[in-house]
Every structure is written in structure tokens, then in C-alpha cells.
Chains A and B, each alone.
Chain A
């Protein structure tokens, strides 16, 4: 009886074993496919790893180059401002000279009129002399030059306004630098995940200190002063709005 029970158990185990082999036959091709996939994917992952390492190592250089661009444009802008200042000083001198000339013409005219009144016997010869001096013509030329000077001064003001773009682009570049830093941090973390079993050293990345390098990510060169119009409207309505309402807007 006991022998018969043992045999039944053996057959049952053999049945289990057979099922296992059948399952194995089904599963082995799947394992093979997984191994083939891994064989294909590992070099690809290594490529990705190398590429990330390469990109990450280049990022500090990119950030450094952006800083160099900012510094170079600041120096160039400063040089342009030097020239603009010098032009402004020259324009002031020219304006003063022109004013002196206009005063001179006025004085000449007054002196000649005085002579004409004092010596009527000269029978119009002084009028001829006065007309030969072409004072009116010269004076209108001076007025013309004054108009040109005014235009140059206006152009100088416009150059100064345009130079403010340096500050705006500096903030945009600082924003890009911040972005590069964030991407570098993320990639470094990926590199660490790829290489942690090999005692991999993370590339050095310093902390981006927003307190030391503040920027406005929304800075833009608004030559039409649309944002100024918004500011003016808000200030105007703020003069009518109570502090309580502003606090309410900020959820305080």
C-alpha cells in the first residue's frame, strides 16, 4: 500500500517536472530574445552614457562662454557710451559756439543800424555794406546747423536707449546659464545612476547661487514701451486702490 502511494508521488513529481520542461521550452526563446535585446541595448546605453558624459563635461565651458559674451558686450557698451559722452560734450560746445555766432550777428546788425542812423549823409552806402555782409543768410545757416545739432542730440539719446539692450540681454543670458546649470545637474545625476557600481566620480558642478547671480527670465527689449504702459495703468489704479485690495490680490 505504501509502495503504491510512493509511486503515485513519483509519477506526480515526474508530471510536474514534465510541465516544468514544457514551460521551459516556451520560456527559453523569450529569455533568448531578452538576452539578444540586452546585447543590442548595452552598447547603445554605453553610447548614451558616453554622450551624456561628453555633454556634461562641455556644459561648464558653454556657461563660461556665455559669461564671456556678457562681459565682452558690457565692455563694448561702455566703450560706445564713452564715445556717446564725448559726442554729447562736442555737441554742447558746438551749440554754445552757434549761440555766440547768433549773438554776434545780432550785435553786428545793431551796430550797423546805429551807424546808419548816425550818418544819414552816407546816402545808403551803409545799407549796401550791411547787405554785403549777408548777415541774414549767415544767421539762417546757423539756425540750419542748430537743427542738425538737435537731430544729432536726438540720435545720441536714441543710441543711449538702445544700449539698455545690453542689460536686458545680460539677464537673458544669465537665465540661459541657469538653465544650463539645471540640465547639467540632471545629467550628472543620470551619469551617477549609470556608473554607480564602478565607483564613478561625478563631474564637479558648483551650486548656482541665484542670490549672487540674479536675473529676470522674462526680460525682453520692449522698444514700444508696452510694458511701461501696463506699469503706468497699474500705478494709476494703485493710487485709487487701497492697500487692503493689493494685499487681497497677494492673498495676505
Chain B
């Protein structure tokens, strides 16, 4: 199955770094969104997106709210979601798990960590 990623982060720098990392590990099909609101609009408009990589702290609709919105929509509820965030406290991670993210990366990350998490998600789904 060809993967099409949706990379969601309000930081232009981080979107570029995630995109570059994806390219370096062999995934070059992705679209970007600057916040949760834009991400939901893109998911609504593009059925070919089959993997979401999202930040947590974003304006308007946060990453956590985005995860909850994806999980509560019948059409998108089974999408794999990888959260990539600066939030590394235990409570944060547990909150994300409770919202049903598939995996979790704490910034800064390496392309190897990104590959490992994507592969773990794909292997379990």
C-alpha cells in the first residue's frame, strides 16, 4: 500500500524537517497542514491520505483535538496517527495515548526514530 502522509505542524521549520526526514527514509508522498483545522479540511478533501503525523501545540485546533476529531469520525477513525511533539512529560504521553494516538515521538527526533515508529505502526495495523 502506497503511503500518503499528512504532516501537521504550525512551525514551517518543523514541517520541512519532518518532510525532509520522510524523504530521507524513502517516503516522498505527503501533504502539509499548519494546524488541526487545516488538517481536518485536508483529510475531508483527500481520501488518499492514509497516515497522519501531527504536532501537539498548535493554534485553533490542537494536535490532541485533531486526534480526537479523527477518532470520532467514522471515515477517519482507523487512520494511523503519529504524534511528534516537544511534550515529553509522562502525563502528556498518557493523555495522547488516551486519545488513541498510535505512537509518540518527542522532539528532537532523528530520521531513524521516525522510520522506527512508522514501521511499528504499520506492523501493528
Give me the interface of B with A, judged by CB distance under 8 Å.
9, 11-14, 16-17, 20-21, 24, 56-60, 62, 85-90, 93-95, 97-98, 103-111, 113
Give A215-252 interface residues, CB cut-off 8 Å to B. Answer: 215-216, 218-223, 225, 227-228, 230-231, 234-235, 238, 243, 246-247, 249-250
Bound-state CA distance A231–B113 (Å) is 12
Cβ 8 A contact of A163, one of B13, B24, B58, B113: B13
Contact of B111 with A162 in the complex, beta carbons under 8 Å: no
Bound-state CA distance A171–B87 (Å) is 11
Contact of A171 with B86 in the complex, beta carbons under 8 Å: yes
Assess A167 versus B86: contact at CB under 8 Å? Given A78-B16, A214-B57, A225-B113. Answer: yes
Bound-state CA distance A216–B62 (Å) is 12
Bound-state CA distance A161–B94 (Å) is 25
A160: chain B residues at CB < 8 Å are 17, 20-21
8 tightest A-B CB contacts, nearest first: A227-B88, A164-B108, A219-B86, A227-B106, A214-B57, A231-B104, A167-B11, A77-B13
Contact of A215 with B57 in the complex, beta carbons under 8 Å: yes
Bound-state CA distance A250–B91 (Å) is 9
Bound-state CA distance A163–B20 (Å) is 12
Bound-state CA distance A243–B94 (Å) is 11
Bound-state CA distance A163–B111 (Å) is 13
Assess A228 versus B113: contact at CB under 8 Å? Given A219-B86, A246-B98. Answer: yes
Bound-state CA distance A234–B103 (Å) is 10
Give A66-123 interface residues, CB cut-off 8 Å to B. Answer: 74, 77-78, 81, 84-85, 88
Bound-state CA distance A241–B8 (Å) is 28
Contact of B107 with A168 in the complex, beta carbons under 8 Å: yes
Contact of A216 with B86 in the complex, beta carbons under 8 Å: yes
Contact of B59 with A211 in the complex, beta carbons under 8 Å: yes
B21: chain A residues at CB < 8 Å are 160
Bound-state CA distance A84–B23 (Å) is 14
CB distance from A19 to the nearest CB of B (A): 68
Closest A residue by C-beta to B112: A157
Bound-state CA distance A238–B99 (Å) is 12
Assess A234 versus B90: contact at CB under 8 Å? Given A167-B14, A214-B57. Answer: yes
Contact of A166 with B85 in the complex, beta carbons under 8 Å: no
Contact of B106 with A225 in the complex, beta carbons under 8 Å: yes
Contact of B13 with A235 in the complex, beta carbons under 8 Å: no
Closest B residue by C-beta to A241: B97
A234: chain B residues at CB < 8 Å are 90, 93-94, 97, 104
Bound-state CA distance A85–B20 (Å) is 8
- Taking each of B12, B57, B60, B110, which has the highest tally of chain A beta carbons within 10 Å of its own beta carbon? B57
Bound-state CA distance A6–B75 (Å) is 103
Assess A231 versus B88: contact at CB under 8 Å? Given A161-B110, A168-B108. Answer: yes
